[in-house]
């Protein structure tokens, strides 16, 4: 198989694997009310999974973040969270600042 | 069909002070550049963001492809890493449901479930009339999906101009955005326990089982939070 059609297959397979979870979620949710205990449980699990994913991204990163030290990541993230809290939960400021800070700190290192 | 007023209201979340646009732009620009370097062409990179629209899965796809993994292996690793979308959509659809809304809209809307759009919806849905929440959600979803697709295109085109330091800078924005949104959501004991539990268990379990750590941490952390009695606010 040539490279191009192989890449298309890879994209199709990835999209199906991803859509499966979303679609399965819709089917499961069909009979679930937003006042039920089951909904509550899924909600807690979803938040917990997102928190676990984010913590993993910071502490055991993959890709480009591997080139930075944990200390620098924690410093930049703490500053960004402080900006978020003191700016009445503005998200544009901390996201832009984190990029600028982190790029500069990575250049110095 | 779709209520325009609520659709635009959802779309406008992209230009608010809580906008996910910067975080989406940074992470998908980086993805576009990565796909360029991995040998995908422009159409393939843009199509990947449009049809998959889930960053961790697309990263796994690119890495597995470079490592020469088989299609079955790619399917399984992507499925595992994107399985978080399952509990997320079960925790989303019940707040969107209304008997006046046609089925096709639910099926269309499930493609737009991603961490950023989900967090915005959870943050704002209580202000929206339940009858029109699905239209509002489609607005958020179309906005975030378009931002992701356009950023992938830009990242692909400017990849030669991105220095290594800038790529590192881009990579930190997404976790910053997720963390801020989750801290914003921690206004009741259940969410506080769920988020802290997952954040603590995730990295610890990662040492034992990298592939399953996030799912296990989420189920354990979420179940502990579920059993916490919160008198002030029963549900999240």
Exposed / middle / buried, residue B89 (Cβ in 10 Å: 0-12, 13-18, 19+): buried
Helix (H) or strand (E) run with residue A104 in it: helix A92-108
Give the model's pLDDT for residue B236: 46
Domain boundaries, chain B: 4-173, 186-230
Sign of the dihedral defined by the CA atoms of residues B236, B192, B137, A10, in that order: negative
Q: Do B199 and A107 touch (CB under 8 A)?
A: no
| Helix ranges, chain B (H) | 4-11, 21-38, 42-51, 55-66, 71-81, 85-90, 93-96, 103-110, 115-124, 133-158, 164-185, 189-208, 213-226
pLDDT, mean of residues B218-228: 96
Quote the tokens at residue B102: 């046609």
- The answer to whether A1 touches B62, Cβ cutoff 8 Å, is no
> Which residues in chain B (73-132) have CB-CB distances under 8 A to chain A?
74-76, 78-79, 82-95, 97, 106-107, 110-111, 113, 115, 118-119
Sign of the dihedral defined by the CA atoms of residues B60, B62, B68, B72, in that order: positive
Q: How many residues does chain B have?
A: 236
Q: Which residues of B touch A46 (CB under 8 A)?
A: 84, 87-88, 90-91, 118, 218, 222
Predicted confidence (pLDDT) per residue in B111-140, tens digit: 999 999 999 999 999 999 999 999 999 999
Give the model's pLDDT for residue A33: 94
- The answer to whether B95 touches A32, Cβ cutoff 8 Å, is no
Percent of chain B with pLDDT over 70: 97
Confidence class of residue B233 from pLDDT cuts 50, 70 and 90?
A: low
Predicted confidence (pLDDT) per residue in B151-179, tens digit: 999 999 999 999 999 999 999 999 999 99
- The answer to whether B99 touches A68, Cβ cutoff 8 Å, is no
Q: Do A53 and B200 touch (CB under 8 A)?
A: no
Return the residue of B nearest to A27 by Cα.
B90
Predicted confidence (pLDDT) per residue in A72-96, tens digit: 999 999 999 999 999 988 999 999 9
Q: CA-based Rg of chain B, rounded to a whole angstrom? A: 18
Give the model's pLDDT for residue B70: 93
> Which residues in chain B (132-161) have CB-CB distances under 8 A to chain A?
none
Predicted confidence (pLDDT) per residue in B18-50, tens digit: 899 999 999 999 999 999 999 999 999 999 999
The CA distance from B33 to the nearest CA of chain A, in Å, is 12
Confidence class of residue B225 from pLDDT cuts 50, 70 and 90?
A: very high
Q: Do B180 and A43 touch (CB under 8 A)?
A: no
Q: Which SS3 state, helix, strand or coil, does residue B200 take? A: helix
């Amino acid at each position: 198989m040539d490279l191009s059609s192989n890449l298309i297959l890879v994209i199709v397979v990835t999209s199906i694997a991803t859509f499966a979870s979303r679609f399965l979620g819709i089917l499961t949710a069909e009979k679930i009310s937003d006042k039920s205990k089951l909904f509550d449980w899924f909600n807690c699990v979803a938040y917990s999974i997102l928190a676990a994913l984010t913590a993993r991204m910071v502490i055991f990163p993959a890709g480009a973040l591997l080139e930075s030290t944990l200390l620098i990541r924690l410093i930049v993230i703490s500053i960004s969270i402080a900006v978020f809290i003191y700016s009445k939960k503005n998200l544009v400021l901390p996201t832009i600042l984190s990029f600028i800070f982190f790029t500069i700190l990575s250049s110095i290192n | 069909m779709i209520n325009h007023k609520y659709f635009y209201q959802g779309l406008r979340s992209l230009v608010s002070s809580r906008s996910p646009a910067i975080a989406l732009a940074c992470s998908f620009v980086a993805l576009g550049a990565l796909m360029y370097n991995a040998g995908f062409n422009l159409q393939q990179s843009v199509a990947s963001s449009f049809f998959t629209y889930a960053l961790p899965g697309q990263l796994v796809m690119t890495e597995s492809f470079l490592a020469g993994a088989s299609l079955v292996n790619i399917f399984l690793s992507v499925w595992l890493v994107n399985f978080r979308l399952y509990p997320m959509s079960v925790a989303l659809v019940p707040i969107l449901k209304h008997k006046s809304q046609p089925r096709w809209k639910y099926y269309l809307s499930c493609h737009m479930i991603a961490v950023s759009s989900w967090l915005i919806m959870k943050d704002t849905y209580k202000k929206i009339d339940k009858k029109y929440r699905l239209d509002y959600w489609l607005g958020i979803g179309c906005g975030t999906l378009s931002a992701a697709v356009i950023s992938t295109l830009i990242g692909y085109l400017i990849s030669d101009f991105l220095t290594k330091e800038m790529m590192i800078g881009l990579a930190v924005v997404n976790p910053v955005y997720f963390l801020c949104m989750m801290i914003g959501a921690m206004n009741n004991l259940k969410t506080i326990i769920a988020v802290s539990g997952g954040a603590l268990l995730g990295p610890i379990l990662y040492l034992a089982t990298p592939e399953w750590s996030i799912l296990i941490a989420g189920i354990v952390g979420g179940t502990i939070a579920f059993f916490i009695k919160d008198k002030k606010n029963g549900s999240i």
